[in-house]
Amino acid sequence: MAKKDYKKLSDDIIAACGGVENIRSASHCMTRLRMNLVDASKLNLDEAKKIPGVINIIVQNGEQQFVIGQDVPSLYEEVIKNPIKAAGSIEDAEALKADTQAQKGNIVETVLSYVGGTFSPIIPIFIAGGLTGAIISLLTTFAGLDPTNGTVVVLSAIQQAMLYFLPIYIGFSSASRLKSNPFLGAFLGAVLVFSTINNAEGLSFLGLPIAQIGYNGQIFPVVLGTLFMSVVYKFLQKTLPINLRTIFVPLLTMLITVPVTLIVLGPIVYWVGTGLANAVLAIYRFAPAVAVAIIGAATVWMVFFGMNNATYPVLFLLMAEVGSDPLFCTGMAPANVAVGGACLAYALLQKDPENKQIGTGAGITALCGITEPGVYGVLFPNRYPLIGAMIGGGVGGFIAGLFGLTQFVVANPGFLSFAAYMNPDGTWGNFWGMMAVMVLAVVLGFVCTYVLGKRAMAKKAA
């Protein structure tokens, strides 16, 4: 396979977007290069999709998302060598007056775009922190290390910092997504987890009581707080005299946002979020096999519409409630690897070398937990692999739910995250159960796709 020329790919994408001057900002998630354009009409979608190296292009709420694959950071490095702003950079007063196309979508699209765009950039933190917890389990179980051992203490800090300081990461990412000041978003998150605020008892502000809430590991309070902060920040940027903005915009933004978040927004969304988690958990407890099967079958559609990251808020609430994720990640694991099986079957059926290469590459990537190349490059363009992947994911999810399997840490569901299925108590039932479920999902995805593909080819030949 020829090595990608990221410089040429970057130049082609920038040209397709109407040139550097038409790109307001750029960012990337795990597999997509995200462009915010000044004039979206200058992007020719049909031609842009033909660029070698671009798997697909998703236009979501005014943002152009180029599906590239796991090597998207290498492409992004080339893109930002041009005079293009990184998404989330602090904007001046004139930039804040610009018409942001992300505000033109319908309300559902806007919410999903906001939530998905907030969580995508911080997924690497979840993976690193979550899998570190699995490494600790391996070291304490097999290497006999004591929890007080210095190595375990250092690794535990990596694992625990992921959740404890979660509001800081989300505050930064959320503010970036809202085209506000990301450092003030992180500052808000830091205030929430500060020792005298976090889970403080009997606290008040100007005589108004502040609810006792443990904000570390919480998501919704800082998300809504950052949304409110963004409104305040942009209002002050527009209304205050220029010579006063540097000092008074950040000061007034925080003096207004922090009390409102602690007194009003934080408690409201905390209890709503807790109720939502309890409701989802109640559905799972009522019909676990069916609930996980639905996630397993629907994951490819969530990925296609960019909704998969929108599950993270409820996922983390479930993690806080039960200590693991028996629903979302557990259902997505067989779904992801079933995509791998479907893509490999597609590759086997193809005679064209390029299609074989696409199917094989997408299949291997999906087995590791990254499905965008397979979803956009194989499943939806050809349909029969889509059916095969949904069958594999649905059946695998049903069995996982039936036997109460779970994922103990947040990590990309798939074979590469095998350690995430190891029970911290040292038992191996859950691990081998999840391995068996994923192997079954791969086999079903492969076999169903192969059979359906043979029929489709026979019908086409006739």
92 and 387 in contact (C-beta within 8 Å)? no
Going by C-alpha positions, the residue among 35, 36, 43 that lies closest to residue 17 is 43
- CA 249 to chain centroid, in Å, comes to 31
pLDDT by residue (tens digit) across 163-179? 789 899 999 988 988 88
pLDDT by residue (tens digit) across 208-224? 999 888 888 777 789 89
Residue 402 class from Cβ within 10 Å (0-12 exposed, 13-18 middle, 19+ buried)? Answer: middle
Q: Report residue 153 as tokens.
A: 């203490």
pLDDT by residue (tens digit) across 127-140? 677 667 768 877 87
Angle at 20 between CA 15 and CA 21, to 5 degrees: 120
What is the model's pLDDT at position 110?
64
Residues 6+ apart with CB under 8 A from 95: none
Q: DSSP per residue over 240-278, as a string?
A: S-HHHHHHHHHHHHHHHHHHHIIIIIHHHHHHHHHHHHH
CATH topology of domain 1-85: Gyrase A; domain 2 (3.30.1360)
Count of CB atoms within 10 A of residue 45's CB?
A: 12
**Is residue 271 scored above 50 in pLDDT?**
yes
| End-to-end Cα distance, the chain | 34
Segments in 31-122 forming alpha helices (H): 45-48, 72-79, 93-96, 107-119
What CA–CA distance (Å, rounded) separates 369 from 372? 9
Going by C-alpha positions, the residue among 355, 354, 363 that lies closest to residue 381 is 355
Mapped onto helix, strand or coil, the DSSP state of residue 378 is helix
Averaged pLDDT, 314-324: 78
What is the model's pLDDT at position 257?
96
What CA–CA distance (Å, rounded) separates 204 from 210? 5
Q: Report residue 431 as tokens.
A: 């691990």
- What DSSP character marks residue 287? S
Give the mean pLDDT of the chain: 84
For the chain, the domains span: 1-85, 165-284, 287-461
- 359 compared with 389, residue with greater pLDDT: 389
- What DSSP character marks residue 85? P
What CA–CA distance (Å, rounded) separates 85 from 460? 48
| Residue entry with tokens 């993270």 | 312
Q: Report residue 399 as tokens.
A: 């069995």
What is the model's pLDDT at position 442?
97
Residue 192 class from Cβ within 10 Å (0-12 exposed, 13-18 middle, 19+ buried)? Answer: buried
pLDDT by residue (tens digit) across 52-100? 989 888 887 667 889 888 788 889 999 988 887 655 444 433 443 444 4
405 and 433 in contact (C-beta within 8 Å)? yes
Going by C-alpha positions, the residue among 227, 284, 278, 287 that lies closest to residue 253 is 227
